[in-house]
Structure 1
């Protein structure tokens, strides 16, 4: 049961973090460039330089969100286990 809870919590935090990070990155891209973020690889409006900056930036943010969500899930699991353990002792 603990493994199922761990996986569900990790997945939920990762999905929520990914959605929030995507929206924040798209907003920041729009503010910095004045253009919409590229959605498709075949957009010819974007130069190779912009495409590389976008790809590297979004990959870095994605990796950061993944690490932080895994750490957050671990902390959350520990808190839940501590709270659940204290209730069962009463």
Structure 2
């Protein structure tokens, strides 16, 4: 049961992190370029340099936010179950 709770909490954190990452990416893009972020960077009408820059920015932000969310979720779930973060991670990865 604890393994299921850990997986559900991690999934919920990943979904929440994706929403936060998108808002951070859009805000950062607007701050740096002064323009709205591309709605579809794969569109051939968007300049290739802009598409690549947006892909790099969004990939970095999404990766960072998801990693932080997963780390925090693991700590919280482990504490709630009276285990160490390593024990919980080992159980979740089985």
Q: TM-score, normalised by structure 1?
A: 0.80
Q: Which runs of 5+ in 1 are unaligned?
A: 83-90
Match of 2:57 in 1: 57
Give structure 2 stretches of 5+ with no counterpart: 83-94
The aligned length equals 81
Q: Compute the TM-score of the two structures, normalised by the length of structure 2.
A: 0.77
Instruction: Say if 2:66 is the partner of 1:66.
Output: yes
Distance 2:34 2:71 in 1: 34
Q: Separation in 1 of the partners of 2:44 and 2:30?
A: 16
Superposed CA deviations along residues 12-65 of structure 1, whole A, max 9, x for unmatched, are: 111111101111210111121111111112151x32111111001111111112
Q: CA RMSD in A?
A: 1.4
Shift of 1:66: 2.3
Pick 1 or 2: higher relative contact order, CA cutoff 8 A, min separation 6. 1
